[in-house]
Each structure stands twice: as C-alpha cells, then as structure tokens.
Amino acid sequence: MGTGMREGPEIWIRGPVAAPEAEASPPRSAPARSPERRFSWVGLHGGAGVSTLAAVYGGHDGGRVWPGPADPRSVLLVARTHAAGLDAVLPAAEVFRRGEAPRGLGLDAVVLVADAPGRLPRPLAHRVRHIESVIDVYRVPWVPEWRLGDLSGRPPRGTEPLARLTGAPH
C-alpha cells in the first residue's frame, strides 16, 4: 500500500504500535546508566498532566497537539483516570492503529494520571483494565505536592517502570 506502516491483522497487540526508529548507539565513554529516551507527552484532554509529567520525567511537553518535525517521535498519550479521560484513550490509540497519526510518530504507551486520591471506583477500574488489555499502560498516583506546584524530588513511588521507560532517575 506504500504508507510506510507495517500491515497486520486487525487485532490489538500490546506494546509499541509502530516500529521504533533506529537510534544511534551512545559512545563507549557514556555512563553506565541507560541514556534518557526522548518522548513527546500528548494530552488527550485539558488538565491531563502533560506539563507536570514532562517536568518530572523529562521529554517534550506537547500539550494537546501532535509533535512537530523537530520533536521526539515516540509518543506517550496522557489522560486522567476520570470517565472523560478514560473515554478518550482508545479512540486516540485507534488513530495510531489505523495509521492515521502523523507520519513517523510511534505510540509507545498510555500514561494514566490519578484524578483524585484513593482507589478508583469499580466502573473506572474496569475501564482501566480494558485499556490495559490492548495497550501498555503506566499509572501515576495522586501526588499532593504536584497539586501545590512542588515538582521537586524523585518521581512518586510505584512509577519506577515509567521512570525506567523515560530514563528519569528513580
């Protein structure tokens, strides 16, 4: 078909949607710590937490728009765990699956940011499980300090996998 996208069956497979672009190897004198991967954080709705995540974990703060040509091509979609946020996730992931995202962008994962302290109500937890069954999901808990604007310190406990993915210290 000549679209540059890999063709495949009409099923969901967990993990990155597009083939990762080749990255240059770090020089041998690089530190032992794995190099920071570059991501563009893209919010699926206002107030998703994109700016906070970019400040804490690094990467490009894309707001609610697709990354431009000079921005990192690996995309992390961000949504809150309220009903409207969760409802926005699968349609956005479907854009990548259908090959309708801007050329060269690859969806790496979805990041769900807690919309309130405590456990999710059962209907919302069910939606999260459904999303997790079709794409890699990283969860970020409620962080009271972030609400007050304090982004100092390490990423919150329980987000070590996201910190490893982005190369942020944890």
Burial bucket for residue 159 (CB in 10 Å: 0-12, 13-18, 19+): buried
**Per-chain mean pLDDT for the chain:** 84
Is the pLDDT assigned to residue 80 strictly greater than 70? yes
Sheet containing strand 74-80, strands side by side? 60-61, 40-43, 74-80, 106-113, 137-140
Torsion sign, CA atoms 165, 113, 64, 136: positive
Give the global pTM.
0.79
Q: What is the mean pLDDT of residues 18-35?
A: 40
How large is the angle between the packed helices 83-97 and 122-132, nearest 10 degrees? 10
Residue with tokens 């009271």: 144
Per-residue pLDDT reduced to its tens digit, 117-168: 999 999 999 999 999 999 999 999 999 999 999 998 889 999 999 999 998 8
CA nearest to 132, candidates 143, 120, 144: 120
- Stated as kind and residue range, the H or E segment containing 109 is strand 106-113
Q: Are 38 and 60 in contact (CB under 8 A)?
A: yes
- 41 contacts 50 by C-beta, under 8 angstroms: yes
Q: What angle do CA 138, 53, 69 make, to 5 degrees?
A: 100
Q: Average of pLDDT values for 56-72?
A: 95
Residue 47: pLDDT above 50?
yes
Spatial distance between the Cα atoms of 45 and 48, rounded to a whole number of angstroms = 6
